[in-house]
Chains A and B, each alone.
Chain A
Amino acid sequence: MRAALAGLIAALLAAAAVAAPVRFDEAETRRILRHGPWPPAVPADPSNRVAENPAAIELGRRLFFDKRLSADGTVACATCHAPALAWTDGKPRAATYQPLHRNTPTVLNAGLGRWFGWDGGADSLWAQSIRPILSPQEMGGSAAQTARRVAGDPALTCLARASFGAPAESDEAALVRAAKAIAAFVATMVSPRTPFDAFRDALAEGDAKAMARYPQAAQRGLKLFVGKGCPDCHFGPAFTNGEFHDVGVPHMPAPGMVDFGRHGGLKILAADRFNRLGPWSDDAEGEAAALTRRVRATHTDFGRFKVPSLREAARTAPYMHDGRYASLRDAVRHYSELDMNRLHVHGEQLLRPLRLKGSEIDDLVAFLESLSAPKLPEFAPARYSACP
């Protein structure tokens, strides 16, 4: 009888603990508020003079879905960045003409970044847009092919003229214009508000009633998220600091092959004639180029990859640079059981295994799921009507 009573009390206490409202102290509240407000304004890109031009945005939208930019007319940007899959391909690693060794990231919120690609090999969204077009493994296109496609299509020609004025003077100029238009379109794709954003704003306003609508599990997960130091990298409204880190993920895609990550990306960036220091930037001497001018590779950049945004994470599986984790739960487990042997003592000093209990993993996953909107809106409407 006594044992049964003790069991009942324990069960009631446990239930009470689960049901107890989650309280956030001052420091936690401050950290949570830094993840908003959402949506933010997309920063201007001085290297792309048509970044906010409606005609260019429409031109970019059409080119994004245009398979004629690829070698055999079968691959478009949207082949791997498919709208129905939250602008990813849903595969562990991308594969069009040839299999790649990295996961396709979503283009949602890409306009908020300062480095592009898992390795940061591009310093602008338009330079990044050129990479897959020219890559024989991805679209296998060329500057000449891009120029022909735009010149041979009256609607595209009209939009190009409305965006840039006089016709492109060379094939390469036409390629850069196409890429800048694609970048202008991609930059419009900011993910919508989420349950977390509603909670965050309610917290800012002290609106307890609105806060209570946010699921308890997500609140507990949020408390873990800010308490365990996750925002050190998954920082700010976009839940990324935009930089590169080694989180102990192996980076050998095949025997004898290693992915240099950020270290390799910086070499690509330095050699890229389309970088912000190059002749195609609309602001090569300005502040937009300063980061590119200053950045230097270090030995610890080897094996570092870009910190992805966590927004819409529930829709963008699989995870990590090589898509090795099929679910958010798997990704959380990675940090829970982090293999410190893979990290240098003086490398990523912030990282420690989180050692989460099963219920804590559930809560953290619930929080991460709350960073996705109930539904993604249609991002691809035609907005410019002056051309056919």
Chain B
Amino acid sequence: MRLVLALTAALLLVRPAAAAEELPIFDAHIHYSHDAWDMLPPDEAIAVLRKAGLRKALVSSSSDDGTQKLYDAAPDLIVPELRPYRTRGELSTWLRDPTVIQHLESRLARYKYVGIGEFHVFGADADLPVMRRVVELAKQYGLVLHLHGDAEAIDRVFAQDPAARILWAHSGFDRPDKLRPMLSKYANLWADLAVRSEHGSGGKVDPEWRRLFMDFPDRFMVGTDTYTPERWYYVAEHAAWSRAWLNDLPRDLAEKLAYRNAEALLLGERAPSR
């Protein structure tokens, strides 16, 4: 009997993510920017997310009004973060535009967010005054920094605030051998897998990525990145694709990457409220 139980337990431990097609997904990289609003009004956008089987969606938008529209339509689904960009065209100018700070401060005073981002910063630009103030605001409000940039920018932000929590967009577009030392170095560094394909192509997890996921099971999360209006029609496709490769991992790990890590980082024990 003991042997049967032991075997059963062993089987449960190594059981792959059976029924992973039903895995809830927390999509940690959604934008609802101004050029998407007419094409996909909030109710329709929410319908797209629900149809994809998303449990939650981390949404940032240019402008932030897009995030607020979605949050108003579905507060149970939308997890808002504050993007510094008032229009999408500010991607390459925002770091040298001090009015961004006023924008952020006024929005933070008015609405609740779980993070600031996604924003783009590379190298020494992470020490510019606007970025330094963003780090301070994140600390003041207890927010995650959703940073699209390189390892140097990550280093510089942690140098400013070692207690900062950073969600590294697209896992920095770095390879596992570059990610590993960063994740080892910083306990407060998480990474989304938006626009990355190489870790799970064809429904199989790449061995090097598998080792990384196993070694850092609490750090990764999935995301689509709806950077053009058309990509909203890719959210369901992306969720299905994610479930396929997550199915190649042990169930517990698959669930962490699918939604638990994002919930732990971004929601803690409670959803944001106004």
Interface residues of A (CB under 8 A from B): 250-252, 255, 258, 260, 263, 296-300, 302-303, 341-342, 344-347
Closest to A301 in B: B197
Identify which of B120, B195, B241 contacts A300 (C-beta below 8 A): B195
Residues in A neighbouring B173, C-beta threshold 8 A: 346
Q: Shortest Cβ distance from B31 into chain A, in angstroms?
A: 11
Interface residues of B in 147-193 (CB under 8 A from A): 148, 170, 173
A250→B231 CA distance, assembly (Å)? 11
Does B39 count as interface, using CB distance less than 8 angstroms? yes
Residues in B neighbouring A342, C-beta threshold 8 A: 228
Contact call A255/B39, Cβ cutoff below 8 A: yes
- The answer to whether A258 and B230 touch (CB under 8 A), given A296-B202, A299-B195, A346-B195, is yes
Does B201 count as interface, using CB distance less than 8 angstroms? yes
Residues in A neighbouring B198, C-beta threshold 8 A: 298
Residues in A neighbouring B120, C-beta threshold 8 A: 345
Q: Could you jot down 21 A-B contacts, CB within 8 Å?
A: A250-B228, A250-B230, A251-B230, A252-B39, A258-B230, A258-B234, A260-B234, A260-B237, A296-B202, A299-B224, A299-B234, A299-B238, A302-B237, A303-B230, A341-B88, A342-B228, A344-B195, A344-B227, A345-B91, A346-B173, A347-B195
A297→B35 CA distance, assembly (Å)? 26
Known contacts A252-B39, A252-B229, A260-B237; 14 further A-B pairs (Cβ under 8 A): A250-B230, A258-B233, A296-B197, A296-B202, A297-B201, A298-B197, A299-B195, A299-B196, A299-B197, A302-B230, A341-B88, A341-B91, A345-B120, A346-B195
Q: How many interface residues does B have (CB within 8 Å)? A: 27
Residues in A neighbouring B170, C-beta threshold 8 A: 346
Contact call B91/A252, Cβ cutoff below 8 A: no
A302→B120 CA distance, assembly (Å)? 22
* Total A-B residue contacts, Cβ distance less than 8 Å: 54
Interface pairs A-B: 9 shortest CB-CB: A298-B197, A258-B233, A341-B88, A296-B201, A258-B230, A299-B195, A346-B173, A302-B234, A299-B197
- The answer to whether A303 and B228 touch (CB under 8 A), given A296-B201, A296-B202, A346-B173, is yes
Interface residues of B (CB under 8 A from A): 35, 39, 88-89, 91, 120, 148, 170, 173, 195-198, 201-202, 224-225, 227-231, 233-234, 237-238, 241
Q: Shortest Cβ distance from B251 into chain A, in angstroms?
A: 25
Contact call B148/A344, Cβ cutoff below 8 A: no
Q: Shortest Cβ distance from A61 into chain B, in angstroms?
A: 40
A255→B223 CA distance, assembly (Å)? 25
A258→B234 CA distance, assembly (Å)? 9
A300→B198 CA distance, assembly (Å)? 12
Residues in B neighbouring A297, C-beta threshold 8 A: 197, 201
Q: Shortest Cβ distance from A295 into chain B, in angstroms?
A: 11
A297→B225 CA distance, assembly (Å)? 17
Q: Shortest Cβ distance from B91 into chain A, in angstroms?
A: 7
Residues in A neighbouring B241, C-beta threshold 8 A: 299
A255→B35 CA distance, assembly (Å)? 14
Q: Shortest Cβ distance from A297 into chain B, in angstroms?
A: 8
Residues in B neighbouring A346, C-beta threshold 8 A: 170, 173, 195
Residues in A neighbouring B224, C-beta threshold 8 A: 299
Closest to B40 in A: A256
Residues in B neighbouring A252, C-beta threshold 8 A: 39, 229-230
Residues in B neighbouring A345, C-beta threshold 8 A: 91, 120, 148
A251→B229 CA distance, assembly (Å)? 10
Residues in A neighbouring B39, C-beta threshold 8 A: 252, 255
A300→B241 CA distance, assembly (Å)? 13
Q: Shortest Cβ distance from A345 into chain B, in angstroms?
A: 6
Contact call A302/B88, Cβ cutoff below 8 A: no
Residues in A neighbouring B201, C-beta threshold 8 A: 296-298
A341→B87 CA distance, assembly (Å)? 10
Closest to B233 in A: A258
A310→B201 CA distance, assembly (Å)? 33
Q: Shortest Cβ distance from A197 into chain B, in angstroms?
A: 38
